[in-house]
Amino acid sequence: MVEEAIGMKDRKKIGKAALLAAFCLLCGILYSCRPKEEAVFESAAGALKEDAAVQPLEPSPEEFPATADPLQAKADQEPVPMFVYVCGAVARPGVYEVDADTRIFEAIEAAGGVTEDAAEEYLNLAQPVTDGQKILVPTQEETRELEQSGALENPPDSVEEARDGLVNINTAGEDLLMTLPGIGASKAQSIITYREVHGDFKTIDEIKKIEGIKEGVFHKIKDLIRVK
């Protein structure tokens, strides 16, 4: 009986020792696994932070499309005004604001037109104006005095040729024809030669028969010429 009691005690001790060993082994396994999971998590989180620092997000052009400057667009659309001083034999001498493509005859019209004693034929009425230009319309008396003194060496070909800003291509001389845009000495002489051979131009479109005067040049001069 004593031996059996001693055997029972030994078996209980062995069982407790085995149970304790198993518990320690389990705790060791759990303890060894925990740091590895945290390390993996921390490593992954660190990699994400590093990528975010190295590659900052930038908005794409599609998300924020470029918009035109409204002030610049307005400035591009609005014509630049010019100012000219019209004086002499006009109804209302003064400074006038005109568009960039204004001709001298239009500036004179803005000043109320010429007076009865005006000699506007001595001006190139078809000439474009420039900003700050002074347009002096002389009187008939002033031009006579200038002619007598020799100061006016190149009077116009005819009083009627440049009246109302239109050049009569049937009577204008070379100098007056050359005041038209796109018409140089060669084309002016060709116009005169054509008149001598074929007679007067019947319509302004007939001038396109002149060599070198096609649609481009005709478009520039069609509103500046006449045949009567």
If one looks up domain 157-226 in CATH, what number appears? 1.10.150.310
Q: What per-residue confidence (pLDDT) applies to 146?
A: 72
Interval 194-207 mean pLDDT = 92
Interval 102-128 mean pLDDT = 89
Q: What per-residue confidence (pLDDT) applies to 110?
A: 95
Q: What per-residue confidence (pLDDT) applies to 39?
A: 46
pTM, full prediction: 0.39
Residue 225 has pLDDT above 70, yes or no: yes
pLDDT averaged over the chain? 75
pLDDT in tens, 177-192: 888 888 988 999 999 9
**CA separation for the pair 138, 207 (Å, rounded):** 32
Q: What are phi and psi of 183, to 5 degrees?
A: -110, 110
Give the number of residues written for the chain. Answer: 228
pLDDT in tens, 37-56: 444 445 545 554 555 555 55
Q: What per-residue confidence (pLDDT) applies to 13?
A: 67
Do 207 and 168 meet the contact criterion of CB atoms below 8 Å apart?
Answer: no
Supply the DSSP string of 166-224, one letter for each residue: -EETTT--HHHHTTSTT--HHHHHHHHHHHHHH-S-SSGGGGGGSTT--HHHHHHHTTT
Q: What per-residue confidence (pLDDT) applies to 28?
A: 66
Sequence spans of domains, the chain: 82-149, 157-226
pLDDT in tens, 59-93: 555 555 556 566 565 555 666 789 999 999 999 99
State the Cα torsion 86-123-164-161 to the nearest 10°. Answer: 170
